[in-house]
Structure 1
């Protein structure tokens, strides 16, 4: 480890700074010191099953006998309400903890996670040599988890103990020439020592970049410093998304005494991002350069949170949480180019929370132009009673900055109490035109059906400046490019949005068990077509199990395309019950899966499992496919059979309205069975069973029975007789202020294995995906005389009194080429049929025949 010169300061501004320290996991429990990028400190979490024994060892220093050294640092807890203990020692090895024999602080403790506690220690060494500072975290084992954070380490040394250090430099300015990379750093020299006496001896200065321990100059005598620096000169570890923060630290030295560190303003260097700009902070990560500056310990930072705390349900926000009274923090973007924009607009969402609502905090939107100072553009009224604890949208014009080389946007929070918390999400900058509609969200069924409609809800936002009449646009849902549902729009003012419900049905002509599914808006005169469609997802299709026509063939003849097929196989005559234990369902999904449908009527967060970390924990939901092993949960969550179960966590603050809707049933009278239990005996859990004869829409269900679980958490089988005509059953959880209701092993007869009491009524004929004929059930051939020249794809389906089958295999016929002629086939090559569907033993008679669904010609 390289030797570090004094004066030394470490604010842990980035992970690279943390990596200059050595970490020793003394008890080998895998929980030890790491970089805390939310609080910009070195932090060690404590394992609740073991006492802490972890060392954070500084870089190497060369100490001299007779010099008095002064150590200062701050410490705080990771979780509030705990007391964490540590020692600070001096040693001669970075890896041998037994070398730390000189104690500097023997009774260190921290008991607050908001306000850090400052520590200092003066010491000398007995011999000249290389030494290391060791921060030894050693809190005894506790039943709860917490940890210790160390920050703002400063170390100075002086030969004469009676001398005072000079005051820090002041008036630091930083100019950066973005065209050539020349930095000009200026400061004012201190005129007094810390004890108030005047400085009469010469001053020298040390300058380094923040984030580096290497001095650019040391012993420098001027008060203006120049450096030619570009992004290539910055450490690779400090470059994020093609940009980096440039800031300097300056100390003054007089009579061998060194001042505290003074910091320059900051500049961001690199290549500006282009419009449209979007930052979602998904999963607590950034996708562009972001930085912050602060007073106190509260500061902006990206943070991973449960989806229920985000605006866009992507697991991340930009967060400021106050650590003490009267703090402020500026969170700022990197460089953003407005090139080509005539009307740029900043859009963002925020949620403000403050338990002390009498103190008015402020949130200012600030802008820096071409690397200049940040100035306030507008102030957001976060204190409005209507805005508290709910997501609010703000939109700010950036038109005044058109023509700039680049800008930066900043969010300055001024907090007056230690209880302030604010989230930012979905920060967007785009060029706003007059007419611009965007599809911003789509909620969709877990699976499409061919025999009934499902609901898709499409969110359309007017991101243009002009109001839009609903009659001027339509919204369509598409599968494999084919429209499967469409609705007329609704009136939208500029900046507003609407959710449009669209019934969707998968036509059998899609002929696939999965499709590319998306929504799009068609707006006459839209000036921006790049946001008219949603992302495409792969959507499952529940295909009908009705028998389809057999041995379909299509050939070209002189009078058109001749189509021939055989009648379908007989429908199933018996039913078979199935048991679904959800072992094949995706872990922790809260969306529809397979043929099951979920509906959350509560639409609020639920009580999660605080001791576990798993997707959608606490998010608004009806049910989740819970895998206790994958969640790291205890055996108290064990499923009835297998590894998985369904869990309905209770809604927070109101009665649950959580629906689980079955796959399509056979329609015959049958008995439904399943197992259920409450997680805890301490809560009363309620549910009811309902049936529907038509669709999965909750308004179509009628209550069949209800149940209540009191002071019991054992698995119990429930059984219900479903009347004939039932197409779906539903389990609706209605518990109030409870915790969790568990379900497993549903036994029933689905449509896919039920007896098919159907009557064949006819056939549909398709050419190139379009229905060209509807035929009676007695007809098993058709001639298409209207097909144009070229190749065509044909299919046929069987139509029953209860629906339509899937399509037959596709056949291709070519009008231009005619029928391909092959040699005479022998009868022993497989069963052979003529075009009337008759099985023939010999093929001596010239004509067209079918074998294994393929045509051949005998001459």
Structure 2
């Protein structure tokens, strides 16, 4: 997938692992883990499905690697007789074996099974597994218990082998020896063999020892590095029968005692034929082995005779292997092995677990548990435990918190709330069964139930800037999905309405991908439609548009076999009137391509609308550069969208700034339904503009537009000035009919603090006049936030190389971390700061992604060259070690540097280096020497603690030089220029006048104006500080109007009289 495509993330949602093309869910997770092994360590906090955030500190695990030659020795095992067999369906059978890690490369993390043999046991079905090491060729042994064998006698060694994926074949050899050691494995059973079969292949190999003795079978994994998994199953050793020895017994039944006592009734028919198929003429007896140990030698049986007996005092509860070995004077005949569970059986996981989609009270129900192995069982004594479900990083489901318990075999549970309440979320529950013997090996997961109040119409999703506003639920399966080369997501490369984003559906080979909306209510609509834009670039596959109706299933609105990829945006509309009476519907889009063509196929969807369409309805959106200089012309960007059903032939655009009409533009170009048109309206900021913030409003007016709610939109522009010091302490005094103005010279240097509030969140370039240099060029990492399923929630630009990013914790992929209680990333002031994050680089020898040292620079704008003091605030994160619970201070190392030349990093000299520690904002200061043209802040943190460095409120001084003169303005008109620091406006007309004074520097460049108001009446004296206050929040809410004071304002950032001001 291209860098500009990102898979769709859904809060609280994760696709349940399902079998795809013959692979088990476990194997799919192995493949995903194998293909995504280059993951960085997890540090981040976890986001709960209810959109709250855990308040515990972020987590940190310091991993170490240990190399050790290890032998997993079990307690001494008995020696077995021929007829011994294992199917690995119980841990007891696994415990008969010894594992040897001959090359000492097992994972130091005991929860990981890389580089060793282990038991893979799932719901009573087991097998031995060697799991790959990414760097080392396998050298690992799985050695059987001892088996008594006769010299010169022929024995058959039976086993099954397979790999996970043919493209990653495994290698194995099988040997034998007279001790359970590597050195003793000298005899060959199976020469080194490459396995590319993904289903079990059976092997029957001959073993003929030369002397009597106890022998062990050794399975030696010798796969290349970075394979996946090698499986061994159904191992047995039996004597090779002679032609006229007995064939196997028939009609075997083993009935465990119904009271759960450790005994069983065994019945069989003695063989009636010899091993070669001829009539059996001699039968000396039948030996019965229990778990490889003889418990019965039954004699005096006639060929074909039925025999029944009871086995008492069985030593182990659980699965027991019964081997029947008939014999006569020719030797042992053909053996027969069968397993039976003896004693009280554990329950299997309840099946058919269902959540009812009930708007009043959701019911969880399930089918009663059954014995896991057909042993003794008492259904009315089963306790059921109800769990929530989480998913790990590989998408594997896990039992989470226990929610409640149901006793006495009851099979349903009322949740006590309805499905149409609260915020959008998904619910999955799992049920396990338990009796006095134990708990089921797994819990089966319910259907996924959508919870939350349905969305209302009009419903609109346009993927602005590649982000979705609504909850969308992706689904995907197939070979491309397994390798993360197919799926549903959003992109910034395509857009039908020029808003920087759309949805994509992408397949590779044998994939089905799609997305569903959340619940949508059509209540109150008259003629609802689904309308959207579609761009198709593929000529293979099937495209589906459908509605899912509760209780009724899927209703297809369109099922289209793709034949031509037109690669242009077209409009699609579908009538939804048939669903008006439904409680809700979910709308869905899917692309299925089951061909063997392994090329990328992609289609794009945008501008989704659900609801009634007015005949004529224009909507408007407005944006502009966040900042404009005084006397500069900036363009106001306007997007007009026709969200109605009919074409609009003409309309006009009206631009107002702070309530003053600036321009009006007539547009006579027709605009079709669901089409957009973009405009740029010029606006010149006045040189004497006194406000630091302007409100821009654009209104669209069209005849017949019946919806005026979406006809106006607004944005704000921050007004800036050159870095030139203004005059100080301007005052005005009325003397007769004259007004005498006086001021002080500008300060040689002017302090400037950049709080990074005016820049677009998550920008990595274009951050004012700062120069950013990414010296390490590493792949940036995250691990800052995880959803409730354990999946990382990435931030914008994660993975792209960058130096610093505008970090906004209140808009982290649409989530407000601060409001959720996660404050580690809060800014020092306002809501934004700069962040340098940890990164990874690929080791060219191992192909692992390894942590990289930071080398990230932020270089200041040009300075006047005066010696000056600079300061900034810096912060790091303190985390918690997951293993020990101890706090870990992820300290960051910062250099402050200066240059007397330019922004070339080779021209900088180090002033000082400091350590940022403690997880709290700390002030950092430095003295720049005379002649400094630029200073730099550089993150040089080592890989061991690299995580995140936050920088905020950088203060430095600009200006310098001397003013050549001063310009004096009255009501926006230039009155005069003077080199003095005073001026008399003679015979000023009566009324309220605005006087402004600017300092004029070399080249005629003016500073920002200083403004006072003078009423030419009886007022004797006014100063520039005697004002009333208009106070607005950053989102435009007026909190004070013409107030005489600022008392009562809470701490925060406000727009006061048009200027951004921080109240502490």
- Please report the TM-score for the alignment, with normalisation by the length of structure 2: 0.41
Structure showing greater Rg: 2
- Please report the TM-score for the alignment, with normalisation by the length of structure 1: 0.48
